[in-house]
Amino acid sequence: MKCLLFSGALVGVVSLASLFGLYYASKVYDHPLDFRPLQPVAHRDTVVNETHPPLYEDLDFQELSLPQHDASLPYPEGGGGTYFFPANRLWGVDFSDAFQEHLLLAYIAYKANRSFVFTPFTLGSNLSEPYSIKGGNTVPSRIPWHAFVEGPAFGDAFPPGDQAPRAVRREYWDTVCRWPKTIKASSFSFGLWNPKNQNIADVTNDWVKNWTDFQADAAKSYWFRAFTRQGVTEVYEDFIRSPIITQLRWSPLVESAIQQNLRTFLPFVSPLSPSSSNTLQSYKGLLVVHLRMGDFDVQCYKFHKESTQARGWSELPDIPDKFDPPAEEEWEARHDYYYKSCSPSFYQIINKLKAIRESDQGRGIRSLYLMSDGTLDYLKNLAIVLVEDAGWEFVSTSRDMVYDPEQLFVSQAVELAIAQRAELFLGNGVRTLFPTAYVQDVTS
């Protein structure tokens, strides 16, 4: 049995952004979330309150019942298989952050021909309880990934002819890997923390070599700010061509929410049937804009102070807008540049979107969807000005979407799918949602 457990900081990234924010990593935990064996949601002793959020028991059971959860299967699966379990995963963060991390970790495991061990998308720290409190609201402590997305990174089959071992849930891994080989962050060489002399492709290859040889007591992982470095693009071509990305598809729950709200954000077309393959429908005439509000002006100060750069995927040559702030000695100009990119003012947003509508790229764009956590009044006023002063024909926002209880907790995936399918998408290259949407759009 060749079981690897990583118990240090792997990758740290944080929540969604705005036009589009500049955050790289504020939640990097030095300890695993919970090392005790997990129990299926439906089997917990805690009484489930029917007035509380859904727990997605059927999807949880579906993941726990994956056919590869069988110790009698031949190598490289089963009781004699090879596995990789990253114990220190992101939790308590937004979907796009955890999603991007999950895909990259699954990609490393795939390259090393190891079965990727995953846990549900986790919102709460106490996994022994079905519910947690986040932002003053009651939320499910964890949500099975199949509520959001499907594909080999989440335990579904690889395409025909690909013999890679399938991903498994941690609950199964606990039964077949009782004495895993543990790799701790503290044992890593300086390359983990100072990546100047080592690009992301080299780090990935080192992982694969160490796992294949199964020799070194230490291995190298992604530096926790990897997503903010241009170097992450060095694995891009191989990454997007791997089945980890090419076989991704949105869940039926996400697709149902999109179809239910289609006329809300795209009123000029007839409802389309949900996509049944990786050839996704495109929403012609739609521009999606991600506007992060809340406390993001405070975060912008940190981005400027720490000279945070564009999110790695956003440095790809096909991205038209580049993040190129003035030199550090030009403090005032640099400050204005960061804030315009990170937390634009009301009229900076208006002017940017008016310029897009009047550009060649904006020709034929009729609908504008504002993906935002802004207040209802702010977004309503913004929509009015965009129609009356900036000439937009139709404007809708996140506040206009209608969800049932199960759809509500996958709404970030719903909006990411909409952004992926839009004809144009305006994002902030230093945030996770923009590069994640871009990678998916390219592969679809």
The pLDDT, as a whole number, for residue 96 is: 83
The answer to whether the predicted template modeling score (pTM) of the entire model surpasses 0.85 is no
Average pLDDT on 237-251 reads: 91
pLDDT of residue 302: 67
pLDDT at 228: 46
Q: Is it the case that residue 207 has pLDDT exceeding 90?
A: no
Tokens standing for residue 229: 């470095």
The mean pLDDT of 300-322, rounded to a whole number, is: 64
3-state secondary structure of 180: coil
% of the chain exceeding 90 in pLDDT: 34
Position 248 scores a pLDDT of: 93
**Percent of all residues in the chain with a pLDDT value above 70, rounded to a whole number:** 62
Paired residues of 85 in beta bridges = 5
CB of 105 within 8 A of CB of 24? no
Average pLDDT score over the chain: 74
The per-residue pLDDT for 143 is 96
Comparing 135 with 326, the larger pLDDT belongs to: 135
- Check if the beta carbon of residue 223 is closer than 8 Å to that of residue 24: no
Which of 43-52, 92-101, 180-189, 399-408 holds the top average pLDDT? 399-408
Rounded Cα distance, 348 and 340, in Å: 7
Q: What average pLDDT does the segment 313-342 reach? A: 70
More confident residue, 277 or 159: 159
Q: What are phi and psi of 286, to 5 degrees?
A: -115, 130
Q: Is the pLDDT of residue 13 over 50?
A: no
Beta bridge partners of 118: 169
Q: Is the dihedral of CA 228, 229, 233, 238 positive or negative?
A: negative
Q: How far apart are CA 371 and CA 333, in angstroms?
A: 28
- pLDDT value of position 4: 58
Residue 344 gets the label, from left (phi > 0), alpha (psi -120 to 50) or beta, of: beta
Helices H / strands E in the chain, number of each: 14, 15
**pLDDT band, residue 386 (cuts 50/70/90):** very high
Check: CB of residue 350 under 8 Å from CB of residue 358.
no
Domains and CATH numbers, the chain: 2-246 (no CATH), 252-443 (3.40.50.11350)
Q: What does the pLDDT look like over 278-293, one tens digit per residue?
A: 445 789 899 999 887 7
pLDDT-based confidence at residue 123 (cuts at 50, 70, 90): confident
Average pLDDT over residues 107-116: 90
